[in-house]
Structure 1
């Protein structure tokens, strides 16, 4: 019976990351016709639809603003908004595969920041995973051999900001309500991007509204699916499913956006995904649980909580 429940959880996780991938493809379809701030704000506005379904028995609406550590809640508030902007910029200017492969550096950033800020002990295998990830990044970027764009910076910043959100979760601990962590991200995007979009606001066309609705609603649906997945399967089994997004990225790129994956990028993809899987394997070996999927970005679902 337990095996059946675990399989259900893994399948729900695959469905969640498929929804996240479709969400990212929706924002890419707008092709930069709106500012990244506006797309982030309107996507988060649609994402509010997930609030009622993320609330657990006994939760109140006021719990969205309650926290055991206001400083870390606010850090997540700002980090998530910055990461969302970075991700939107990345998917606007890069192929989906290239954007994902750089955002997948998130586990490397988490390892580094966990050592610096949480004083976590990290062994040679996890440091090796970090090194492999950054080697893969150099292969993908090929600095000096190709022109780098704001999209590359956005993808890197998206991964870094996601890592900050994860470290905030680690520091706060599992006692924090999911609705509080979710609201920190959504409200951060609404407030910050809402202010930044004002000078260059353009009213979306009907087609753009449809893409924006897909962007926000699919991301909210993915967060809900991840919550249910975590209720059925160990997080160590769920974490690796995030890399299924690369399959969607390659498919969307080839079928919709006319993108191609060359040999160096493929080698970089293999190295970075291998780096992330090695990190997850080390967390599983240490019997460390991962946090629940409460973030507005898919990568946060693969973060790990340190041992107490």
Structure 2
């Protein structure tokens, strides 16, 4: 097995551990407070490994409006994902999150005028049907977290589409630094009404969430340098395995057989979609959740 694929598996396992810690922390503080601390801490690995760019160039932008739009959608999407993790089952969050490629494809066609083959539309639709099997609207009561996570998927698609357009010309320090800066301001303001002073244990967990997110992003970047993206991209679907495992071990969440079938459909259609893509894939550590290193 290529080294890059192993690193990618490790990266997504790290992401999943970070998500499990978010879910465990959620009931004790607001999503804005969690986002403030974890996003602030997640930049530490990037700062320690930064090469060739200066932080003072952060506002030297070629597409200022699009960069700020990306910051806005990424920050709102992160808040939505954290809310979902703390309110609905682990596997449901990932299953809904994997609809992001569908929205990315729609936006790519409408805004970037990209061509998408018919078989890819069919696979995206099948993947969406798999998500329907997981959440089963109409057959079971959907919670607010399910709707919020769908909003997060749309926001993630906007974030990814904009990034594909601006990334070739913008500095990484701008794309990372501005998002962290604005996220800190946004979440600091919104966390004030319900702010809870973290205990030492909570602070250590928040630090762990942030560091794991940053390290996972760096691992995935290293994986992408060593192995073609078409081999790296399918590894993201391994997160559904971690979701089922962690959900059962730590949160008493046991998906029924219909949900498991739905997840298999999502994974199968997603893998076929990725592997059938002929163009180079610009795969991101998180298409629906902000990570340093995107």
TM-score (norm 2): 0.92
Question: Which range moved further: 33-42 or 293-302?
Answer: 293-302
Encode CA deviations 1:254-282: one digit per residue, 9 max, x unaligned: 11111101112112211222232233123
In structure 2, C-alpha distance between the alignment counterparts of 1:296 and 1:287, rounded to whole Å: 22
The residue that corresponds to 1:297 in the other structure is 289
Gap regions ≥5 residues in structure 1 = 1-5, 303-308
1:207/1:200 Cα in 2 relative to 1: closer, same or farther (>3 Å)?
Answer: same
Q: Which moves more between the two structures, 116-125 or 44-53?
A: 44-53
Kindly state the Cα deviation for residue 192 of structure 1 after the two structures are TM-superposed: 1.6
Is the Cα contact below 8 Å between 1:14 and 1:241 reproduced in 2? yes
* CA spacing shift, 1:174–1:16, aligned 2, 3 Å: same
Q: CA RMSD in A?
A: 2.3
2:2 alignment partner in structure 1? 7
Q: Deviations over 1:164-221 (max 9, x none)?
A: 1110122114233333222243233212222211121111222221221121110011
- Structure 1 residue aligned with 2:275: 281
Residues in 1 aligned to 2:157 and 2:172: alpha-carbon distance in whole angstroms: 17
Any unmatched runs of 5+ in structure 2?
Answer: none
Distance 2:291 2:190 in 1: 25
Q: 1 CA distance for matches of 2:217 and 2:151?
A: 21
Deviation at 1:12, TM superposition (A): 1.2
User: Equivalent residues in 2 for 1:201-280 (5 A)?
Assistant: 201-280=195-274
Quickly say closer, same or farther: Cα 1:291–1:78, change in 2 above 3 A.
same
> Which residue of 2 is the match for residue 3 of structure 1?
none
Partners of 2:291 and 2:255 lie apart in 1 by 22
Write out the 4+ residue segments of structure 1 that deviate beyond 4 Å after TM superposition.
291-296, 298-302
Change (3 A) 1:141 1:294: closer
1:95 Cα deviation after fit? 1.6
Provide the rounded CA distance (Å) in 2 between the counterparts of 1:254 and 1:65. 45
Residue 17 of structure 2 corresponds to residue 22 of structure 1: yes
Query: 2:78 touches 2:290 (CA, 8 Å); kept in 1?
Result: no
Aligned length: 294
